[in-house]
Structure 1
């Protein structure tokens, strides 16, 4: 398995299919890390759609998106379920951020957060505008998650570092 990228390292590139709800419509497209240069990005790896902790985590991120966007950043959720599953999950809970389908866990593997045949670990990576990892949190058990306050605090520190 790949090593978890440390702060200061370039984030592994990827391209994944995803879906984002906009005004009630599902916009499906390919999301590519290389196309998202120029502003910070929060990558939130989560084990599964519509599970208790993941639902709380993604609902909190979705309701906090305005605070994250105010810091010129975006959030992408990544898990092994299909785009169809992501769309149903997003509609059920009104999630506003893109949800990406890492069905073969290749991206989770590249970030060192896949669990051999068991999905992935809950993890958050904060990338700067150049695609460099600036902060990360990888959960050992995945029963907790980093809150929006923690993400915005890290984004503010990133903003002041430049």
Structure 2
């Protein structure tokens, strides 16, 4: 049974655990910042870096997105695709993408259903106020569609290097 720190309760009171390494990655079909659709099933055969972040154009989220932007040449060497996911809408994503010249798609998860499937929709406590929201987290999905690595409660500094190291291990 997961501890309370590793799962959270939905409105209905059910546990929403983190997806575990080795599990089949939950399927998704989400709208991108340009209005197109991305389906996990269409990406089979390539590693996928799926990172969840709380809000477009906030300091930590911008730093993380720019780190992935700057790491794109190295990510491309492993044929990996990167997707940022937040509850923001496509217009907000497009503005964020353009402002920071992001070179990967941002996915709209307005109802946070995909974040819930992965376990990234969590109870948060800010200055004593509890609320539900995205907990910064990243999921590396291997070419076969299985979760190869999970980073919970991501610290932005150096996270791109952690992801690149895990990708190198996948291809070793």
What's the TM-score, normalizing by structure 1?
Answer: 0.88
Q: Deviations over 1:70-100 (max 9, x none)?
A: 1111100000000100000001111111000
Q: 1:45 aligns with which of 27, 48, 52?
A: 52
Q: Which has the larger radius of gyration?
A: 2
Q: Which residues of structure 1 form unaligned runs of 5+?
A: 20-26
Aligned residue in 2 for 1:36: 43
Give the equivalent residue in structure 1 for 2:26. 12
For structure 2, the residue ranges without an aligned partner over 5 or more in a row are 1-14, 124-130
> How many pairs does the alignment contain?
150
Q: Secondary structure at 2:46's aligned position in 1?
A: coil
> C-alpha separation between the residues in 2 aligned to 1:38 and 1:6?
20
Query: What is aligned with 1:126?
Result: 140
Q: Which residue does 1:100 correspond to in 2?
A: 107
TM-score normalised to structure 2 length: 0.83
Q: Which residue of 2 aligns with 1:2?
A: 16
Partners of 1:110 and 1:6 lie apart in 2 by: 11
Corresponding residue number in structure 1 for 2:3: none
Q: Please say if 1:147 is aligned against 2:129.
A: no
Deviations along 1:116-152, whole A, 9 cap, x unmatched? 553210000000001100001010xx6x225221111
Taking the TM superposition and a 5 Å limit, the aligned residue runs for 1:46-61 are: 46-61=53-68
CA RMSD in angstroms comes to: 1.3
SS at match of 1:97: coil
Matched residues in 2 for 1:152 and 1:4: separation?
22
Aligned to 1:91: 98
Which aligned segments of 4 or more residues in structure 1 are displaced greater than 4 angstroms?
Answer: none
Match of 1:80 among 75, 80, 87: 87
What is the rounded CA distance, in whole Å, between the counterparts of 2:151 and 2:160 in structure 1? 13
Who is 1:113 aligned against?
Answer: 120
